[in-house]
Amino acid sequence: MKVNARQILALGFLAVIASIVAWYFFMYQAQVNKIYTIQTEISQLNGQLSRSNVSINSLPSLKASVSSMVEEFDSLSMKLPTKDQVSTMVNDIVEAALTRDLTIDKISPAIQAMLESPNYFVKVPIEIEINGSYLNFGMFIESLYQLPFHIYISNLSLNRSDDHVTVIAKMSAYFYVINPGGKI
């Protein structure tokens, strides 16, 4: 069976997408889940500390537990960008597309929703529409994996242009940022 360049390109693209999805499910999502677990444990321990039925003897160990969890939480939080860095993040996405000779038809992050969020962790949705060659689009997707922050792509739609030379890609994406004044 002879394998042509399109099949190799399609397999390469699928491998890139599969590795991004695998990375998300096995590495990053575990960190986000761990942060939420630590937040819950901190809230529970803080609640226990405030109750009058906590014995004086257990306070030092509870304080040590809270301290270590706060340190771990702070360490994990340092890995996420703050909401002040969103414009830089969007510029990184735009640069990744333009560097690969793609035309950006639309890129619109939901800035207002992010600014109004009272939460500490804020999900920032972004709608992206680009067009260009299929190979350049594949390189763009791969370059998103190399960015200093994590972006998640969903609702990816690829269509050929009328001239069958370019691909028109529409996608919903999102990334998480920290709102320093938000509630945990």
Distance in angstroms (rounded) separating the CA atoms of residues 102 and 131: 6
Please give the model's pTM, rounded to 2 decimal places. Answer: 0.56
Model confidence at 127: pLDDT above 90: yes
Instruction: Give the class (CATH, top level) of 81-178.
Output: alpha beta
How many CA atoms lie less than 13 Å away from 78 in the CB half-sphere? 6
- Written as six digits, the tokens of 156 are 């990816």
- Written as six digits, the tokens of 87 are 């414009």
Model confidence at 5: pLDDT above 60: yes
Model confidence at 79: pLDDT above 70: no
- The 10s digit of each residue's pLDDT in 60-69 is 777 888 888 8
- The pLDDT score that the predictor gives to residue 78 is 65
DSSP assignments along 142-180, one per residue: HHHHHSSS--EEEEEEEEE-TTSSSEEEEEEEEEEEE-T
Model confidence at 130: pLDDT above 90: yes
Return the closest-CA partner of residue 132 out of 160, 111, 109, 152: 160
Q: Tell me the mean pLDDT in the region 139-167.
A: 86
- The 10s digit of each residue's pLDDT in 15-59 is 788 777 776 666 676 777 788 888 888 888 777 766 655 566 677
Model confidence at 76: pLDDT above 70: no
pLDDT tier for residue 129 given thresholds of 50, 70 and 90: very high
Share of the chain above pLDDT 90, in %: 12
Q: Map out the domains of the chain as residue ranges.
A: 1-79, 81-178
- Say which amino acid occupies 128: I
Q: Tell me the mean pLDDT in the region 138-153.
A: 86
